[in-house]
Structure formats: C-alpha cells, structure tokens
Amino acid sequence: MADGPSTSVQTTADAVHCKLCLSDCPAATVSRLRSCDCVFCTRCLCQYVQQTILTRGGDPITCPDLACKHAGVLLDSEIASFATADQAELYQRLKFMRGVQLDPSKSWCPVLECQAVCNVMPSAEGTPVPMHCPECHAVFCCECRELWEDSHFCSQHPLVVPPANDSGMPHADAPIKQCPKCRVYIERNQGCAQMLCKSCKHTFCWYCLQNLDGDIFLRHYDKGPCRYRLGHSRASVMWNRTQVAGILVGISVIVLVTSPLLLLASPCILCCVCKPCHRTKDKKSKNKTTTTREREPSASIA
C-alpha cells in the first residue's frame, strides 16, 4: 500500500496496523477511506459506523482517527458498505431530517398526518406571514410554524439568518452563521468568539470566520478588527496561555529527561527482542543437553 503524508497507518510487507483495534491486520481485511486516505480494518470500521449512526442523529460521519489531518467525511456509498441496509436507510432519513432542521428556509408541515417539507420565505419586514403546504394545503405561520388562524398572533420567533452585506459575507454580529468549512448553520447566543463546529470539528472566529485550528494561544484576538473581542478578560486569556505553555514545557522536559535513558537502555531492549540471540541460546542449550546425555554411563543389568 502507498505510504504518504496523509496516511494514518504503519504498514509492513504483508500487514496493516489498525489504529482502532491496535493490531496488525492482513491487507485483504482493511479498507481505505476515500476522503482522507486513512486505512483501518473493515471490522472496526463497520462497528464504528453502526455505532455512530445510532448516537450522532444524522451528523456527518468523520474519520475515526482524531489525529487525521484532513478530517475526512465518509461518503454515503462507504456508509452503505459498512452498515446494514436498515441502518444505512436510518442514517439517510436522519440526515435528511437534520438538514431540514438546520435550514432556516425549510420547515415541516405542522399537520401531523402530512409532515411534508415546505419552503419558508419570511417577509422582508420581518413580520409573520402565512405559508401554504404544497401537499395538504394547510396554512401556517412562517415564524412560529403554527397553523394560521384568524387574528393569528405569533408568540414564538425562531432566529432567522440575517441577509449578507454587499461583500456577500454575513454581518459580524449575526446570531446565526454557516461554518466556513462544512456550511452547517451555527447559532451563537453566548460564550466566546472562538467557535468549534460540532459537525466537522473546525475552529474559527465568529466575527471574521478566520481559521483558528492552529491558534492554540489565541493570538488572533491580539490585533486586527477582532482585537479584544474574544469574550474573556485579559487575565483569563493570559492564564490560558500560561497553562498551554506549561503543558508544552512539561512535555519537552519529559522528552529531554527520558531521551538519554532510552538511548542507554536501547541495546538491552534490542537484545531482548532479537530473535537470532534467542535461537543461538536455544541451540546452545540443546547441544549442552545432548552432550550431558552422551556422557551419562549406561545402566548395567544385574
């Protein structure tokens, strides 16, 4: 199998190391994910996909390797091959329902017997307007999704994505935005401006949508238009940076201390695992036993 920078496995001549079960598997029993090129044994992938379908509720199924650089998402064809027919059908149904819930321009028909998907277009003034179901022709409110009646009063106002500005980007203070990587709608009602998408695990700034995956010290909020807009006090940010720096220094110290010990112990470790040495010792032991038997006097018959 090809070995490249995006591969997350260690291969030998006739086996592939699976990071899920931590065992070496024959090459014929493994599968490679198309989106990220990671390789795992097929049995582990089947268990992972089937468990994820039952627990994630239609969310995209990502590569099981947390250290995957590409954060690959499994294709529908791969999910169908790793799951049973019933589970694959369940995943597609949950995925469709999740898409309707996250799309502010769509809604379920409020009539229980219908449950059709309807297009919702709020009025430009932001006032509630009646919408018509294309299947059962029921009339419901575009805001609260309740049946429209005479003198209807809308008591619930779900958040609506504000229109983009002239540059095509959403407003900085918009309550709902799309993840810049997977385009899933995300709502922010409180908390800091460093956002983590639950769908694709992408970290970004809420105001400018800049990538923050590698910004462990949050230096993005030290300058530029997002300066001091993280949402935490300066003391809290400095304490967080001190903790991160302390963890990195601690790991470095451990590596520096243990490296000489590992170098000194490496000859002993190699000797213990060296098979030719064990074979030589076994041969010497067998030769010694044979020589001892030859030297023993034969028993005399009385």
Q: Is residue 235 part of a domain?
A: yes
Q: Is residue 203 part of a domain?
A: yes
Q: Distance (Å, rounded) from C-alpha 220 to C-alpha 238?
A: 14
93 in the same domain as 31: yes
The number of distinct structural domains making up the chain is: 3
H-helix or E-strand spanning residue 99: helix 85-102
Of 46, 182, 192, 226, the catalytic one is: 192
Q: Is residue 40 part of a domain?
A: yes
Residue numbers of the domain that contains 27: 15-99
pLDDT at 46: 92
CATH number, domain at 86? 3.30.40.10
> pTM for the whole thing?
0.44
pLDDT at 82: 92
Distances (CA, A) of 144 to 16, 153, 158: 54, 9, 7
Asked whether the predicted pLDDT for residue 20 surpasses 60, the reply is yes
Q: Is residue 275 part of a domain?
A: no
Q: Distance (Å, rounded) from C-alpha 158 to C-alpha 103?
A: 12
Q: φ and ψ at 120, to 5 degrees?
A: -115, 125
Report residue 17 as tokens: 């190391």
Is residue 273 very low, low, confident or very high in pLDDT (cuts 50, 70, 90)? low
Tell me: the pLDDT tens digits for 197-219? 877 788 888 888 888 888 877 77
Distance of CA 57 to the CA centre of its chain: 14
- 192 catalytic, yes or no? yes
Distances (CA, A) of 34 to 5, 73, 75, 123, 171: 15, 9, 8, 43, 36
Tell me: the pLDDT tens digits for 186-196? 777 777 888 88
Could you tell me if 119 and 106 are in contact, meaning their C-beta atoms sit under 8 angstroms apart?
A: yes
